[in-house]
Amino acid sequence: MKPQAAYDELLRRSRERALLASCAAVLAWDEDTYMPAGGAAHRADQLAYLAGLEHDQATDPRLGDLLDAVEDSDAAGAPAAAANVREWRRLYDRTSRLARPLVEETARVTSLAQQEWAAARRAADFGRFRPWLERVVALKRREADALGYDDEPYDALLEEYEPGARSRDLAGLFGVLRAELAPLAERLAAAPRQPDVGVLRRDYPADRQRAFGEAAAAALGFDFTRGRLDAAVHPSSVAVGPGDVRLTTRYDPHEFSDAFFSTLHEVGHGLYEQGLDAALTGQPAGDAPSLGLHESQARLWENAVGHGRAFWEHFYPLARRAFPEALADVALDDFHFAVNRVGPSPIRARADEVTYDLHVLARFELERALVSGELGAADVPAAWGEAYRRCLGLTPRDDAEGCLQDGHWAAGMFGYFPTYTLGNVFAAQLYARADADAGGLDAAFARGDFGGLLEWLRVKVHRRGAVVPAARLVEEAAGGPPDPRPLVAALRRKYGELYKAP
């Protein structure tokens, strides 16, 4: 077969797989938002069937022949084509190494394990989840062996979420973060000046939270003719297609921060999806190169923008108009200090910017040890307690706020957690460079203008898709390779000023 014909056929099949995946995306979004309870069992059948079709397509041996015909040919010469061929090969080789019985058993066991995890968490009883965690870990170890690795099995799993990332590098990165952030968090917790977070726990009617969140999303550049924001149990972002990006958040009428900053976080994911090159839809080159880079866009808008003083200079008068009962007696500085409170807490999902990566570090150490076999599933609660004492200086009250708090392991997502911290690291690097390029973004933010930052990200990140891998994209956009120091520097500067502590 001629290389160009092989490339065209690979492209056709890639678009078909993407269409199938995007059908599943609509079904998943619908499950989270509008599906009646009675539809759950049938929805599981639908999604399992689509996943099976997708797996069959992804492992069709014909793909191997087509790739052989196109690799090292002119047809794979242009940057986007080269990226496509590289990703098609990577995905085909990975997927083909996983025998169907292992894939099916993993799907079945993780589906049941997630139900058992939810029940165990409700009962705060790790013992109930332990046999399931053992089975999931055993399956992921088999998966890592089937996939292959150079240094350690955890690398094989990392590759699923962050292509090219390696445990050894991550350990170095986390080492820097721990050495800097743990003492910073301690200093801030001990500082005499502390915020009053009670103002965030007043009455914030859900419908007004929704209107305020939508207004903020639109002001940041989220295009509601090509997207939506709905209520759901968990915040999420689902890209159905280039013109159809669905965000969800959740509203607690007695708390302001959770819904609002979740919305900004998902808006960050959504702006990335809306900014991808629509001409490359259905091609790996037109997609995000890694979860860490995707997360960076979410954390950048949530934290560097949305937790900043300049952002609230513009939005606080609007917030006061939306919630006069709650905020009439609260000054801008006090509100801004409250949404930026730092303090160690047992729950990752509610952690502040400074301690967040320490939660991720604990999980990274534990799951790396589980996958290598150094740590047995039965010993997880003890190891979790030890890690939290060491990283965050606290002891969880029970398993529910300890090792059962996150569902990732039940779902088999070993290797996912580090992408949260890579997201924070990348975001700090990108934001520092965008800020420098603009000669300071705060003045624009203070007058409600976020278009300059968005355009910088469109050019430097969004439109580039996966034409280069994530680490190289960050290097080209930010001017240096992935590096935790800009994150540390930004946090020290910001919180030193806020807490008036050195």
Among 103, 139, 184, 240, binds its own copies (CB under 8 A): 240
Among 4, 9, 11, 20, binds its own copies (CB under 8 A): 20
Among 4, 11, 39, 376, binds its own copies (CB under 8 A): 39
Measured from the CB atom, is 282 or 423 closer to its own copies?
A: 282
> What are the DSSP calls for 75-134, one per residue?
GG-SHHHHHHHHHHHHHHHHHHHS-HHHHHHHHHHHHHHHHHHHHHHHTT-HHHHHHHHH
Using the contact rule CB under 8 A, the part of the chain among 29-37, 101-109, 158-166, 473-481 near its own copies is: 29-37
Measured from the CB atom, is 5 or 19 closer to its own copies?
A: 19
Using the contact rule CB under 8 A, the part of the chain among 33-41, 186-194, 381-389, 435-443 near its own copies is: 33-41
Q: Does 281 bind its own copies (CB under 8 A)?
A: yes
Residue whose C-alpha is closest to residue 256's, from 316, 310, 311? 316
**Candidate list 87, 159, 266, 295, residue with the active-site label:** 266
**Please, what is the minimum distance in Å from the beta carbon of residue 29 to its own copies?**
8
Among 4, 9, 11, 27, binds its own copies (CB under 8 A): 27
- Measured CA to CA, the distance from residue 360 to residue 375 in angstroms comes to 17
Residue 299's contacts (CB-CB under 8 Å, 6 or more residues apart) are: 265, 268, 423, 424, 427
Calculate helix-pair angle for 418-437, 291-299, nearest 10 degrees.
60
Q: Annotate each residue in 184-213 with x if it binds its own copies (CB under 8 A) or - if it does not, as one string.
A: ------------------------------
The single-letter code of the amino acid at 478 is: A
Q: Check: CB of residue 147 under 8 Å from CB of residue 156.
A: yes
The edge-to-edge listing of strands for the beta sheet with 227-231 is 227-231, 244-249, 236-241
Q: Does 232 bind its own copies (CB under 8 A)?
A: no
- Measured CA to CA, the distance from residue 252 to residue 263 in angstroms comes to 13
Measured from the CB atom, is 192 or 225 closer to its own copies?
A: 225
Measured from the CB atom, is 93 or 223 closer to its own copies?
A: 223
Q: Annotate each residue in 43-72 with x if it binds its own copies (CB under 8 A) or - if it does not, as one string.
A: x-xx--xx--x-------------------
Q: Does 34 bind its own copies (CB under 8 A)?
A: yes
Q: Does 341 bind its own copies (CB under 8 A)?
A: no
Q: Does 233 bind its own copies (CB under 8 A)?
A: no
Using the contact rule CB under 8 A, the part of the chain among 27-35, 120-128, 250-258, 457-465 near its own copies is: 27-35
- Measured CA to CA, the distance from residue 280 to residue 260 in angstroms comes to 32
Measured from the CB atom, is 46 or 73 closer to its own copies?
A: 46
Query: Beta 227-231 vs 236-241: how paired, if at all?
Result: unpaired
**Please, what is the minimum distance in Å from the beta carbon of residue 467 to its own copies?**
22
Q: Does 286 bind its own copies (CB under 8 A)?
A: no
HSE, CB side, 13 Å, CA atoms: give it for residue 462: 22
Among 23, 109, 189, 197, binds its own copies (CB under 8 A): 23
CA 166 to chain centre: 18
Q: How many C-beta atoms lie closer than 10 Å to residue 255's C-beta?
A: 16
Structural tokens at position 333:
């500085």
**Please, what is the minimum distance in Å from the beta carbon of residue 228 to its own copies?**
6
Query: Is the four-CA dihedral 356, 361, 362, 368 of positive or negative sign?
Result: positive
Residue 86's contacts (CB-CB under 8 Å, 6 or more residues apart) are: none
Among 128, 178, 208, 228, binds its own copies (CB under 8 A): 228
266 is catalytic: yes
- Measured CA to CA, the distance from residue 299 to residue 288 in angstroms comes to 15
**Please, what is the minimum distance in Å from the beta carbon of residue 14 to its own copies?**
13
Binding site for its own copies (CB under 8 A): 16, 19-20, 22-23, 26-27, 30, 33-43, 45-46, 49-50, 53, 223-228, 230, 240-244, 281
Q: Kindly list the catalytic residues.
A: 266
